[in-house]
Amino acid sequence: MNAEERTTALRSLIEKLHARVPLYRERMNDRGVTPEDFRSLDDLRRFPFTVKQDLRDNYPYGLLACDRTELARLHVSSGTTGKPTVVGYTRRDLDAWAEAVKNCMATAGVRPDDIVQIAFGYGLFTGGLGIHDGAQALGATVIPASGGFSERQLLLMQDLGTTVIACTPSYALHLADLIDEKGLKLNLRLGIFGAEPWSEELRRKIENRLGITAIDIYGLSEVMGPGVAVECAHQQGLHLEDGLFHAEIIDPETGEPLPEGEEGELVLTTLGKEGMPLLRYRTRDITRILPGRCACGRGGTRIARIRGRSDDMLIIRGVNVYPSQVETALGRVDGLSLHYLLEVSDREGLKELTVCCEPSDHLNRDAAALLARRSQQELLGLLGVRVGFRLVEPGSLSRSEGKAARIRNVA
């Protein structure tokens, strides 16, 4: 899609939202802009953002841009922090989603002769069904295993000859522990991992332990689900589905657009979506748009791997700390497992952080003390601030069968 086509698609979207969705019409009126004011891509910054709270405030159908009877499917968030978020899809939206995931799976290296085991949750969560439809459209054989039931996951992998596993990276690490424990020999060659930020260090650990290539896939339920962007085998950033999304990078504090190459918050606008199109949706994910072409030769927009979420960022003694930075530091220390937890407490009005991590093996007291010192040095060197560190017994931290809960607030 060239600049002229993109401008036309965005103008059509803005006109549709102004005509059919009261929230956007009100927001545009408040800003003193109309669809006629959008003449070029530079004009997009004049139009309002959408945030997740808007979906909750307009629950359940307030952001639909079509008649409710045109919807073919609804996905709903868990709603653990208030009203759930509802996203509606028309038949055409579902077809476009399946095609996007199909393209992403092919870019990642999935082939029609692969057996793809999907260990993302099915149902209201978009992960399972999104990957399922795309892999099936590609022609691969799909095992809809869903999340959890790890013993059954391993049985299916072994007996059915799974070659591609799709799940969260934290769950892949858990499966690697079980595979080592049981001494299993599997046919896995490729992993498609997403739904949580993860570091290069965790990628290499998963690749080495499972003997696979680990590929990052990105998506979020509010704009579609998985399939927004994906890495190719060169692992040099994620290729955005340019025909379906327009990306911006903004300063998360001011909301002002940032130049290409600068890191900030990813903002996505949907192109061509019928059920619930979104204008300038603030993802809260921290990344940057990469310049130039990937080594694979593809053009289009590429984004760097997600470094973290702006709302997950911790401020420790005036220093910004993301969980993925902690993971990177821990991954550089031989002898750590990367099963970890961040304990956050308040001390005299300031945030304190203690990193709890399991060693790869049981250690005696002297070896444990040496490993703890090395870990603290690595954390200090990368984070630029001193944090607490505690080794815990192997297997003592809870294992995730979905998104890992990395942060715990303690008194």
CATH number at residue 324: 3.30.300.30
The upper half-sphere exposure of residue 371, i.e. CA atoms within 13 Å in the direction of its Cβ, equals: 23
| pLDDT tens for each residue of 86-140 | 999 999 999 999 999 999 999 999 999 999 999 999 989 899 999 999 999 999 9
> What per-residue confidence (pLDDT) applies to 319?
85
Structure-block tokens of residue 292: 């130039």
Residues above pLDDT 90, as percent of the chain: 85
282/333 same-domain check: no
**Domain, as residue range, for 320:** 314-409
> What per-residue confidence (pLDDT) applies to 79?
55
Distance of CA 319 to the CA centre of its chain: 24
220/321 same-domain check: no
Cα gap 115→120, rounded to integer Å: 15
The residue length of the chain stands at 411
293/195 same-domain check: yes
350/372 same-domain check: yes
The CA-based angle 402-405-406, given to 5 degrees, is 130
Strand bridging mode 245-250 / 308-309: unpaired
Residues 410, 343 contacting (CB under 8 angstroms): yes
- What DSSP designation does 257 have? B
| pLDDT tens for each residue of 11-41 | 999 999 999 999 999 999 999 999 999 999 9
> What per-residue confidence (pLDDT) applies to 81?
52
Residues 100, 250 contacting (CB under 8 angstroms): no
Look at residue 312 and tell me whether its pLDDT is greater than 90: no
Cα gap 317→328, rounded to integer Å: 20
Strand bridging mode 350-359 / 336-347: antiparallel
Task: Report CA-CA distances (Å) from 49 to 13, 288, 298.
Answer: 14, 18, 30
269 or 398, greater pLDDT: 269
Cα gap 174→98, rounded to integer Å: 29
Distance of CA 376 to the CA centre of its chain: 28
Residue 260 lies in a domain: yes
304/363 same-domain check: no
| pLDDT tens for each residue of 211-230 | 999 999 999 999 999 999 99
Look at residue 210 and tell me whether its pLDDT is greater than 70: yes
| pLDDT tens for each residue of 142-156 | 999 999 899 999 999
| pLDDT tens for each residue of 236-287 | 999 999 999 999 999 999 999 999 899 999 999 999 999 999 999 999 999 9
